[in-house]
A and B are shown apart, each in its own frame.
Chain A
Amino acid sequence: EPEVTQTPSHQVTQMGQEVILRCVPISNHLYFYWYRQILGQKVEFLVSFYNNEISEKSEIFDDQFSVERPDGSNFTLKIRSTKLEDSAMYFCASQARDRGRADTQYFGPGTRLTVL
């Protein structure tokens, strides 16, 4: 069964460094999302992406964040200058989005980002 994959599974970085989290969505899906889950808290929406542009972003997704689909298969989340509070589990999700019904969002296993 097709699945969303994410790399790396765990990333440790120093505060102020740039990180890139990578996701490979399911191949025929058109809509992509990033969510994050700070330890002990709920899963929060960061950004949605369709047709090579951002569809919606949350207030968390400030200028330090960017997303890209560089090669038609990968979907990346970049944090330019990490802060301690960026430490979280980051989940990628993809969705086929058949108009008229709520298509399932399929989640990857997550990347645990630790900022020291």
Chain B
Amino acid sequence: AQSVTQLGSHVSVSEGALVLLRCNYSSSVPPYLFWYVQYPNQGLQLLLKYTSAATLVKGINGFEAEFKKSETSFHLTKPSAHMSDAAEYFCAVSDNFGNEKLTFGTGTRLTIIP
């Protein structure tokens, strides 16, 4: 079975500082990996996805993530945090054998300190 683990349920960074949200995956097949963001009282919005092409994936709002097979990681980064980045971030995995349900991590709430 596939799974993802997000380290840190809450992360606080200062405005302008680096954002690093951690995600490690477990999968017996090549994984497809996703980061979704959830703003308060809203649905899930895709930030970026890894589909076995480039290992460094760029997404919306200045976010990017790097797939590292040796570390089974897919950490999300942004060089400079903005107040509008405050939200809940979910890492998710799906397999590529035609069954594409998403298995989510427990989420990381990002707080931006002015």
Contacts and interface: CB of A to CB of B under 8 A. Distances in A.
B51 A101 contact: yes
A91 B43 contact: yes
Contact of B90 (A33, A43, A48, A108): A43
Interface residues of B, number: 22
Contacts of B45: 107
Interface residues of A, number: 26
A18 interface: no
A42 B105 contact: yes
Contacts of A101: 51
B100 A109 contact: no
Residue from B36, B49, B100 whose CB has the most chain A CB atoms within 10 Å: B100
B46 A91 contact: no
Given A48-B101, A102-B49, A41 B106 contact: yes
A65 interface: no
B104 interface: yes
Contact of B42 (A55, A95, A109): A109
B99 interface: yes
Interface string B8-52: 000000000000000000000000100010000011111001010
